[in-house]
């Protein structure tokens, strides 16, 4: 039977697990059988307490796209490949949105003509034309996910909309 290498400690665990708790976890199998259950519950309680202390005062939304890179070491090769494809698709969507914004800005120049920039050219349509139907569906799905994330991030950063400011 082939032995799998242990998975690395997750970034979350390394943030909320102080060194002494890690040592307690390593010693747990060597404690007397009658104490193991109590020790395990105590360790988990301390982890929960450290987690609550760590996240006290943090906003609920963090950088969501960085999560892909942090998850890759814990995935099987097939899952990792799929995540890399999703990451490439999100980068492509971001680039296409930037090109589309440039196109819209160029078509709205001061004299109203579209002689500079992209004019009627839509980079999103060009990109979709190069994809297979399955890839177009995936592109549309990721594009809508990306748009939702950007809209949510923008609405969280807006000021002056509440009565308290």
Confidence at 121, pLDDT banded by 50, 70, 90? low
Query: Residues of the chain with pLDDT > 90: what percent?
Result: 2
**Helix extents (H) in the chain:** 11-16, 19-27, 33-55, 67-71, 77-107, 123-129, 133-157
pLDDT digits (tens, 9 = 90+) for 23-38: 888 899 999 998 899 8
pLDDT above 50 (res 137)? yes
pLDDT digits (tens, 9 = 90+) for 48-91: 888 888 887 655 554 556 777 777 788 888 888 887 887 777 77
Residue 120: per-residue pLDDT: 56
Domains of the chain, by residue range, sit at: 11-53, 77-153
Range of 10-24, 32-46, 104-118 with top mean pLDDT:
32-46
Query: Residues of the chain with pLDDT > 70: what percent?
Result: 70
Residue 54: per-residue pLDDT: 83
| Mean pLDDT, rounded, for 124-152 | 76
Residue 65: per-residue pLDDT: 62
pLDDT digits (tens, 9 = 90+) for 39-54: 899 888 888 888 888 8
Structure tokens at 17: 């697990």
Residue 58: per-residue pLDDT: 57
CB 143 within 8 A of CB 90: no
Compute the distance between CA of residue 34 and CA of residue 122 in angstroms, rounded to an integer. Answer: 69
Compute the distance between CA of residue 39 and CA of residue 25 in angstroms, rounded to an integer. Answer: 9
pLDDT above 70 (res 14)? yes
The 10 Å Cβ neighbour count of residue 47 is 16
Compute the distance between CA of residue 16 and CA of residue 47 in angstroms, rounded to an integer. Answer: 7
CB burial of 84-118 (b: ≥16 within 10 Å; e: otherwise) equals eeeeebbebbeebbebbeebeeebeeeeeeeeeeb
Compute the distance between CA of residue 165 and CA of residue 163 in angstroms, rounded to an integer. Answer: 6
């Amino acid at each position: 039977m082939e032995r799998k290498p242990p998975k690395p400690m997750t970034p979350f665990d390394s943030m909320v697990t102080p060194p002494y708790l890690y040592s307690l976890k390593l010693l747990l199998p060597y404690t007397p059988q009658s104490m193991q259950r109590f020790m395990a519950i105590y360790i988990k309680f301390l982890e929960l307490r450290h987690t609550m202390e760590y996240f006290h005062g943090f906003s609920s939304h963090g950088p969501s796209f960085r999560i892909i890179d942090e998850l890759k070491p814990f995935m099987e090769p097939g899952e990792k490949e799929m995540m890399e494809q999703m990451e490439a698709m999100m980068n492509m969507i971001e680039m296409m949105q930037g090109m589309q914004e440039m196109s819209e800005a160029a078509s709205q120049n001061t004299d109203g003509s579209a002689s500079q920039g992209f004019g009627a050219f839509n980079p999103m349509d060009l990109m979709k034309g190069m994809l297979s139907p399955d890839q177009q569906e995936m592109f549309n799905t990721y594009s809508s996910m990306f748009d939702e994330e950007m809209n949510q991030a923008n609405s969280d950063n807006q000021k002056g909309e509440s009565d308290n400011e």
